[in-house]
Structure 1
Amino acid sequence: MNLEQLNPKKRFSSRTQNYSKYRPDYPNEIINYLQEFIGLSKTSVIADIGSGTGICTKTFLDNGNTVYAVEPNEDMRQVAEHLLKAYDNFHSIDGSSENTKLKSKSIDIITAAQAFHWFDPKPTKEEFLRILKPNSVVVLLWNIRNAKSDGFMQDYLKLIQKYGESYTNDSTNDFIPKFFDNRTVHKKVFPNPQLADFDRLKGELASFSYIPTESNPNFQPMISELQDLFKKYNNYGNVVLEYETHLYYCKVK
């Protein structure tokens, strides 16, 4: 299935509220790491491409950076504009990875969080090279469930595999080196566990685009199984969603 069929710019519209409320954020340690290894400073100008509801954008706004949040989905963009309206250094852009509407050579660091696999590689690469200043860096981020964990996470992943619809077979081992023309790509993994009551667990599950919606006949059986998992594994009303934040960076100019 190609990107056009997957409709990445609109497929999250019905999940915007769950996405903004329940998706995990990013650990503060990534700021220290990027300060050390790519020279991130408070004066660095960031373009957060595929910024969604602003989860990653906020991480850099809190560091004092000017951030241009580029998002093609109107519903997600409006949520970010509401949540981040207090930040003077926040700029919301109705654009995409292929057409950011940003000035040439205006950006120090490009970030893409939970979004890079949705981009059309060739026009995106051309656009990134256009907007980046010399000696600039692209940073990619994903929050990924820890598949090596036992207990709750193993059973939760089995539930997702049972009810989720596969949407891509791509692997970061393949498309990241290809996108960067086999330049050196650095990787760092950060633990990012999330404490979740049942409402958060249900909301986070429903935020994923490959999970059945409430109108789907599989939704209620899925939620019933999720309730059984929660009853089995919760500790004083919470379970731990064991996430890891995978960070990649590459100097592209």
Structure 2
Amino acid sequence: MAPHDLRSTERFSSRVDNYVRFRPGYPQEVLSVLQQEIGFGTDWIVADVGSGTGISAGLFLKNGNVVIGIEPNLEMRSAAEQLLEGFPRFQSVTGTADNTSLGNQSVDLIVVAQAFHWFDPLAARAEFLQIVKPNGWVSLLWNLPRHYASPFLQDYQQLLIDYGIDYLKVRALTSQESAIEVLYGGTEFKKFVLQNEQQFDLESLRGRLLSSSYAPTEEHANHRPMLEKLEQLFDQHQNDGVVRFEYDTELFLGQLSA
């Protein structure tokens, strides 16, 4: 895992319930892009590295793919196994980006969804080169809140800056082009931006906030003030009892050079 945070494999352990209930899925257009760009099919074997609670794996399982979820965090991995127990093509594996435990040249597509910023890109690259088939592909995928899109999302981001533990640090890492370039090793990759959205009432907005790794936990001095401020923001921006939470779903796609 990434050297900047040695606890990155554990920091979601207490947030699993909120993560499962309130984190966004991924738009169906992700599959359309993969089909159009690389001929992605239902017979492809997918390794979902950093698979978390199974949100991204579900997209590919519903497409009919075999999906191997690689996740180091016990609580998140257990949640995925429960969520996806109805999909016989799902395999759950304990592992990390630099030690997946998968066999050489065993998968057609590696997917990293909302997890790449926790990886050491050079170590992940070495592992990915081992497990992906010749001419296989690597896709990075994440939902980024469109903080520029509305006054509510602008105020929400300021809330994270004011009360979050290390929000700006995590935000800076999420879409770091230099790390992406290291992973792909100088080969050309493409970037696609898709639209995604959730709508929240106050309770679900609170759960969405508390699912974030940088949201202070109950024992932290910022926890209660942050929730009080969140309620003020909701009251200010809600329309018919909900707020819109818009995302840019960024999708990177390429192959790894040896």
Q: Work out the CA distance in 2 between the residues paired with 1:148 and 1:6.
A: 32
The reply to whether residue 215 of structure 1 matches residue 209 of structure 2 is no
Correspondent of 1:177 among 159, 181, 200: 181
Amino acid across the alignment from 2:106: S
Partner of 1:236: 240
Q: Work out the CA distance in 2 between the residues paired with 1:6 and 1:239.
A: 35
The reply to whether residue 155 of structure 1 matches residue 155 of structure 2 is yes
Partner of 1:146: 146
Partner of 2:206: 202
Amino acid across the alignment from 1:93: V
Matched position secondary structure for 1:242: strand
Q: Work out the CA distance in 2 between the residues paired with 1:4 and 1:239.
A: 34
The structural deviation recorded for 1:126 is 1.2
Amino acid across the alignment from 1:21: R
CA 5–118 in structure 1, closer or farther in 2 if over 3 Å, else same: closer
User: Where do 5+ consecutive residues of structure 2 fail to align?
Assistant: none
* Structure 1 segments of 4+ aligned residues over 6 angstroms from their partners: none
Q: Work out the CA distance in 1 between the residues paired with 2:122 and 2:141.
A: 20
Q: Work out the CA distance in 2 between the residues paired with 1:106 and 1:82.
A: 25
The structural deviation recorded for 1:134 is 0.5
Q: Work out the CA distance in 1 between the residues paired with 2:3 and 2:214.
A: 14
Q: Work out the CA distance in 1 between the residues paired with 2:97 and 2:105.
A: 15
Partner of 1:225: 229
The structural deviation recorded for 1:124 is 1.4
The reply to whether residue 245 of structure 1 matches residue 230 of structure 2 is no
Q: Work out the CA distance in 1 between the residues paired with 2:121 and 2:188.
A: 18
Q: Work out the CA distance in 1 between the residues paired with 2:244 and 2:6.
A: 31
Q: Work out the CA distance in 1 between the residues paired with 2:256 and 2:240.
A: 48
Deviations 1:13-44 (A, max 9, x none): 11111111111110011111111101110001
Q: Work out the CA distance in 1 between the residues paired with 2:32 and 2:176.
A: 24
Amino acid across the alignment from 2:239: N
Q: Work out the CA distance in 2 between the residues paired with 1:175 and 1:120.
A: 8
Partner of 2:104: 104
* Contact 2:144 2:250 (8 Å CA) reproduced: yes
The structural deviation recorded for 1:4 is 5.8
TM-score by length of 2: 0.94
Amino acid across the alignment from 2:134: P
Deviations 1:60-114 (A, max 9, x none): 0000000000000000000000010010100000111111111111100000001
* Contact 2:121 2:180 (8 Å CA) reproduced: no
The reply to whether residue 117 of structure 1 matches residue 88 of structure 2 is no
Q: Work out the CA distance in 2 between the residues paired with 1:109 and 1:52.
A: 17
Matched position secondary structure for 1:190: strand
Deviates more, 1:207-216 or 1:63-72: 207-216
* Contact 2:196 2:249 (8 Å CA) reproduced: yes
- RMSD of aligned alpha carbons: 1.3
Deviations 1:213-242 (A, max 9, x none): 111121111111100111111111110001
The structural deviation recorded for 1:120 is 1.9
User: Where do 5+ consecutive residues of structure 1 fail to align?
Assistant: none
Partner of 2:193: 189
Number of equivalenced pairs: 252
The structural deviation recorded for 1:150 is 2.5
